[in-house]
Structure 1
Amino acid sequence: MKEGLYIGQSKQMTVEVKEEMVAQFNGEVIHPVYSTASMVYHMEWVSRQLLIPYLEQDEEGMGAAVSVEHIAPSGVGTTIHLEATVIEVSKRELLTKVYVTNEHGRIGKGKVKQVVLPKEVIQEKVRIATK
């Protein structure tokens, strides 16, 4: 990983809650609000945006762990703001804390861990996993 990524560095992202982001299983809507699965996806995505500029050409990041607390609901059409901040960084790992808010306040928080590996290692892991 390239030098320059530092503790305290942050990235923001804004998302509008869409119908496909609501809590549902097998096509059945359980609650017509922003799902935990969608929140995890967006937490990983905003955290990845911190990592991308620091990857070497032969490296790639992979999600390794996510912890999340889904605190409050947010309906379709609402705007979600995410902010990921670096709390730990090394040559092979990045850990971010992520806060998720809407117009009413915090709706989620958590941590996202990514590992940095050579692309060949990841390709081999994928090859083995898809046999």
Structure 2
Amino acid sequence: MKHSCLVGEIRIITKTVIDSDLATFETGTVHPFYSTFALGRDVEWACRQFVLEMKEDDEEGIGTFLHITHKSPAILSDEVEIRATLIELEGNTVNCSFVVMVSDRLVAEGTQGQKILKKEKVLRLIDQIRG
């Protein structure tokens, strides 16, 4: 693992809310807002930017937790900015805080964690689960 990032550094991604980001289940669309599960996916991607910079070719990141608190909705066609801040880097642990904004309005905030593991360890974990 490369130690190429420092606590306090920020990574930003932006995206436009599209139809597939809405809260939709087998019964149909629940509401026309950016869903929690789509938000979670995109927050993971923003925080993963640190892992991509730090992992070696024989390593991979694996999520350890995700905590999201919604503050206000984002709607279809809104451009959201996800700002991930590296808050902890200890051993192979990479933890971030994040805020999600539409212009100057806070949509969500929270924390996300990952560990950087050797790819062979990830494969061993899969084998253990499969039995």
Category of TM-score, reference length = shorter chain: over 0.9
TM superposition score normalised by structure 2: 0.94
User: 2:72 aligns to what?
Assistant: 72
Distance in 1 of aligned mates of 2:49 and 2:68: 18
Secondary structure in 1 matching 2:124:
helix
Residue correspondence of structure 1 range 53-68 to structure 2 within 5 A: 53-68=53-68
Secondary structure in 2 matching 1:75:
coil
Residue correspondence of structure 1 range 91-102 to structure 2 within 5 A: 91-102=91-102
Distance in 1 of aligned mates of 2:4 and 2:37: 31
Percent identity of equivalent pairs: 26
Aligned partners of 2:19 and 2:76 also within 8 Å? yes
CA RMSD of aligned residues (A): 1.3
Describe the superposition over 1:80-116 as per-residue Cα deviations: whole angstroms up to 9, x where unpaired. Answer: 1000000000221000001000035100001010011
User: 2:121 aligns to what?
Assistant: 121
Secondary structure in 1 matching 2:85:
strand
Change (3 A) 1:31 1:121: same
User: 2:24 aligns to what?
Assistant: 24
User: 1:2 aligns to what?
Assistant: 2
Change (3 A) 1:9 1:104: closer
- Partner AA of 2:54 in structure 1: Y
Distance in 2 of aligned mates of 1:87 and 1:101: 19
Aligned partners of 2:87 and 2:96 also within 8 Å? yes
Secondary structure in 2 matching 1:48:
helix
Tell whether 2:126 aligns with 1:107: no
- Partner AA of 2:96 in structure 1: T
Distance in 1 of aligned mates of 2:98 and 2:107: 11
Distance in 2 of aligned mates of 1:127 and 1:72: 42
Figure out how many residues of one structure are paired with residues of the other and give that number: 131
